[in-house]
Amino acid sequence: MLATLAVVLVTLAVVLVRGLGSNLVYYATPTEVLAARSSNAHDRLRLGGQVVPGTVVKSAHGVRFVVGDGTSRVTVVGDARLPTMFGPGQGVVVEGYLAGGRTLHPVFRADTVLVKHGSDYRPPTEAPSVGTRRAARAR
Amino acid sequence: MATIARRPAPQPRAHPARPSGARNRSRGARLLGALCGSRGIFWQGVAAAVALGASAVVSLLVVPADAAQGDVQRLMYVHVPAAWTAYLSFAVVAFASAAYLRTGRVHWDRLAVAAAEAGVLFTGLTIALGSLWGRPIWGAWWTWDPRLTTTLVLLLVYAGYLAVRGLPDNPDRGARWSAVVGLVGFLDVPVVHLSVVWWRGLHQPATVLRPGTPTMAGSMLAALLLAVLAFTLLWAYLVAARMRTERAAQRTRRELLSAPVRRGVQPVAPVADLVATAPTPQGAGSHG
């Protein structure tokens, strides 16, 4: 039992340090990333914001898009797997680092792209038949 | 811990060997007794099975899936009720722990341990189902988001609750120690629920348990409430059945301890006198 408790306590300590140590600010906004760009070069960061419509370019090398927060914008490049809900206007959190942090237009190199969706749940606006459901999913 | 150990042991008001006797049982104890009788458990099981079946039909076949997420969103009808029953478990653990510390009556401890085990089960289920949902929609099985992290802390706190119980040789002391963990651990429940408000994260904010109206279509909300009801009935069934086995375990333990020849003590004592200077003292088990 003492061993069980020790395992639990050690795991708890690891989780608290790993999960809450630097993660109370889970992601930084483009404005915050750009404001701290000279100091956060080569630091692994999470950048969160909206995918600016009209900026998503997919190619054989991966994807390039712009994340904005209404004030600032940061260009993101990477070859991360994209969740199905990824698209223009979608909230995203990308993980990686800011390359060229001291330059005028730094680029965020992302290895992970996460989708941050809202808390609204609505059926498709048309009659909820199987066909419209499929169409909604394919969109 | 030391302060806890020094507290005077709460004395059971009823005779420990037979805590029943209708004259001095409270209304809460009578209700618990009825729910934990074999008939009570049977009918709770039937109610849970019927409600879970109805919930499965409604959430898989009747309500439309979310327009943006598609069928994956139907995981909500198990993920959210699992989280609700986890919250419920830990509220009951805290309440029963407080009642046990105040009255020293063992049925409160049985309720606390049964609810804590259900809580660990449903918290684990919440995390597992959330992980299944997170992979296609978020793009990750796991991330160190505040909601996920505080939920994992909740799981570990109640795993600790169960581990602490077995630590002292005296089961009453184990029950008291774990009751303190059960009370203090409940502080994490509001932190889990409000983590999406207090801190930035990936997890979306609350849809139902929030100020204002739920941001969800009416049919989906109805399906979700049915699922919550079904999970709550399942929870009640599991807790009642677990309390019954715990009562049997406690009775067996008491009978063994109150037997005229205490197991182990009689043969060991003379030997211990002879080898008092031996390097292995009695109770070496406490080194773990």
The interface predicted TM-score of the complex, written ipTM, equals 0.79
| Burial profile B14-23: b = 16 or more Cβ within 10 angstroms, e = fewer | beeeebeeee
**Domain assignment of residue B279, yes or no:** no
How many residue contacts between A and B have a Cβ separation below 8 Å? Answer: 135
Amino acid at A71: T
Q: What is the pLDDT along chain B (288 residues), one digit of tens a residue?
A: 344 444 555 554 444 444 444 456 678 778 877 888 888 899 999 999 999 999 999 999 999 999 889 999 999 999 999 999 999 999 999 999 999 999 999 989 999 999 999 999 999 999 999 999 999 999 999 999 889 999 999 999 999 999 999 888 888 899 999 999 999 999 999 989 888 888 888 888 888 877 778 888 889 999 999 999 999 999 999 999 999 998 898 888 888 878 765 555 554 444 444 444 444 444 444 443
Give the domain range for residue A56: 26-118
| pLDDT given at position A126 | 46
For A104, B129, B150, B196, B211, the CA distances from B206, given in Å and listed in that order, are: 39, 17, 15, 8, 9
Residue with the two structure tokens 């950048």: A47
**Domain assignment of residue B44, yes or no:** yes
B171 touches chain A (CB under 8 A): no
Q: Is B41 exposed, middle or buried (0-12, 13-18, 19+ CB in 10 A)?
A: buried
| pLDDT given at position A44 | 84
Segment B114-154, tens digit of pLDDT:
999 999 999 999 999 999 999 999 999 999 988 999 999 99
**Domain assignment of residue A16, yes or no:** no
**Domain assignment of residue B30, yes or no:** no
Domain total for chain B?
A: 1
| pLDDT given at position A132 | 41
CATH number at residue B148: 1.20.120
The reply to whether residue A124 touches residue B64, judged by beta carbons under 8 angstroms, is yes
| pLDDT given at position A41 | 64
| Residues of chain A where predicted confidence (pLDDT) is lower than 50 | 126-139
Give the domain range for residue B60: 37-208+217-257
Question: Which residues 90-119 in chain B show a CB within 8 A of chain A?
Answer: none
Find the residue in A nearest to B195 (Cα).
Answer: A24
**Domain assignment of residue A62, yes or no:** yes
Q: B48, B148, B126, B124: which is closest to B80 by C-alpha?
A: B126
**Domain assignment of residue A36, yes or no:** yes
User: DSSP letter at A121?
Assistant: B
Closest by Cβ to A1, choosing from B143, B167, B206: B167
**Domain assignment of residue B193, yes or no:** yes
By DSSP bridging, strand A107-116 and strand A73-78 are parallel
| pLDDT given at position B56 | 96
The reply to whether residue B69 touches residue A85, judged by beta carbons under 8 angstroms, is yes
B70 touches chain A (CB under 8 A): yes
**Domain assignment of residue B91, yes or no:** yes
Find the residue in B nearest to A11 (Cα).
Answer: B156
For residues B206 and B212, give the distance between their C-alpha atoms in angstroms, rounded to a whole number: 11
HSE-up (13 A, CA, CB side) for residue B168: 15
**Domain assignment of residue B99, yes or no:** yes
